[in-house]
Amino acid sequence: MDSKNPGLYLHIPFCLTKCSYCSFYSQTDVSLIPDFIEALGKEMEMAGAGFSSPFDTVYIGGGTPSVLSPRQIEKILAGIEKSFRLSRGTEFTLEANPGDLDLSLLRSLKNLGINRLNLGIQSFDPQTLAFLGRRHTVEEAIKSADAAREAGFDHIGLDLIYGVPVQPLGLWRDTLSQAVAFYPEHLSCYQLTLEDDTPLAEGCRRGGFSPPGEDELLQFFLTTSEMLENSGFIHYEVSNFSRGPKYASRHNQKYWDHTPYLGLGPSAHSFSGSARWWNTRSLNDYLKTLQSGNLPIEGKEILTREQLRMESWFLALRTRKGVHIEEFNAQYGEDFLSYNSGILKTMQEQGHLVLEDGHLRPTRTGLALADSLARI
């Protein structure tokens, strides 16, 4: 049974340099870190009161949380303990940049209670790292993964990116092989997307490079899935692989099945019931609003039953678990299979969906088509 306890996300809005493809909110002026930590403490106190059930996941992301010192991370964790009830065995994830890590920092993070480490490796090829504007080297990536194991982390995730114009399929296969050789518990393989207002999108518009076409990307996707499943990983969501069910991200699962989550820090999003709300993106506005005693919420929407129903499909069909037919029918008062009978039958005949154990599940090719499946 999946947990319906809420999850807590903290957005750390600092990076030492900006990667060329990134549209996440962060800024490079780290002199504001102490003010941010004070403000985050206030936000935790104010927002924590709205959630009565204990949280069972905490995800510290960003930005680059590993630009913080152990003392600063300890202060944030103390704020969490003070403002929220946590379940026993809470999953504590921290995202880290390989260039920031050494054995001593990793040991401190482990001692502070971080029990899941997500390393932004992205590639084991120097040219790909340079194209993406990453500030770490291949050597640092290798060292950080080794050091994380030596520090005692037994739940390590590596993030990788494919579909980079300078990266032929053979090079991507090498990166996957190197990643598997570390024996990580989790791998996330994201397709590079050209987000508006990023230097990479601008470079493409100016004709600096051509992104891979759809057929090529499909090849990357299918190769990734096949290689990793042959290496013992479960392909449990479009971009995510785990070495067995217990290593699937408990926190991310909440985003896919409408479990409540609270997001704090600039640009963070939250969801509960049928409400979704989000914080201001600007760190300065975030600090000012909290200093004046208010929550930095910029917008809120209430999803209609129809929107929730559509999202519920869209998100479930991005996971191998798929749609639980009986639960869906009970929740939305609608016979899911007969309502969509024509298209579902076609998709099954084409091998993109299978009906098993009361679920409609995407196959490997179904996961590759997850975005179009969501439009049926």
Does the protein bind ligand SF4 through residue 62 (CB under 6 A)? Answer: yes
Does the protein bind ligand SF4 through residue 263 (CB under 6 A)? Answer: no
Residue whose CB is less far from ligand SF4, 64 or 249 = 64
Q: Give a three-class secondary structure readout of the chain.
A: CCCCCCEEEEEECECCCCCCCCCCCCECCHHHHHHHHHHHHHHHHHHHCCCCCCEEEEEEEECCHHHCCHHHHHHHHHHHHHHCCEEEEEEEEEEECHHHCCHHHHHHHHHHCCCEEEEEEECCCHHHHHHHCCCCCHHHHHHHHHHHHHCCCCCEEEEEEECCCCCCHHHHHHHHHHHHHCCCCEEEEEECCCCCCCHHHHHHHCCCCCCCCHHHHHHHHHHHHHHHHHCCCEEEECCEEECCHHHCCHHHHHHHCCCCEEEECCCCEEEECCEEEEECCCHHHHHHHHHCCCCCEEEEEECCHHHHHHHHHHHHCCECCCEEHHHHHHHHCCCHHHHCHHHHHHHHHCCCEEEECCEEEECHHHHHCHHHHCCC
Binding mask 113-152 for ligand SF4 (x = CB under 6 A): -------x--------------------------------
Where do we find the tokens 């998100």?
315
Structure tokens at 271: 């969801």
Residue whose CB is less far from ligand SF4, 18 or 276 = 18
Cβ 285 vs Cβ 28: under 8 Å: no
Does the protein bind ligand SF4 through residue 266 (CB under 6 A)? Answer: no
Does the protein bind ligand SF4 through residue 242 (CB under 6 A)? Answer: no
Sheet holding 156-162, edge to edge: 234-237, 240-242, 186-191, 156-162, 116-122, 86-96, 55-62, 7-12, 261-264, 269-272, 275-279, 297-302
Angle at which helix 33-48 crosses helix 283-291, to 10 degrees, equals: 60
Does the protein bind ligand SF4 through residue 198 (CB under 6 A)? Answer: no
Residue whose CB is less far from ligand SF4, 19 or 189 = 19
Residues from 74 through 113 that contact ligand SF4 (CB under 6 A): 97
Which of 5, 48, 58, 64 binds ligand SF4 (CB under 6 A)? It is 64
Nearest approach, Cβ of residue 295 and ligand SF4 (Å)? 24
Residue whose CB is less far from ligand SF4, 24 or 255 = 24
Residue whose CB is less far from ligand SF4, 14 or 220 = 14
Residue nearest to ligand SF4 (CB): 22
Binding mask 14-33 for ligand SF4 (x = CB under 6 A): -x--xx--x-x-x-------
Nearest approach, Cβ of residue 122 and ligand SF4 (Å)? 8
Residue whose CB is less far from ligand SF4, 15 or 40 = 15
Nearest approach, Cβ of residue 120 and ligand SF4 (Å)? 6
Residue whose CB is less far from ligand SF4, 41 or 62 = 62
Residue whose CB is less far from ligand SF4, 64 or 83 = 64
Which of 6, 7, 48, 63 binds ligand SF4 (CB under 6 A)? It is 63
Residue whose CB is less far from ligand SF4, 93 or 97 = 97
Nearest approach, Cβ of residue 123 and ligand SF4 (Å)? 12
Nearest approach, Cβ of residue 97 and ligand SF4 (Å)? 6
Size of the site for ligand SF4 (CB under 6 A): 11
Q: Which residues bind ligand SF4 (CB under 6 A)?
A: 15, 18-19, 22, 24, 26, 62-64, 97, 120
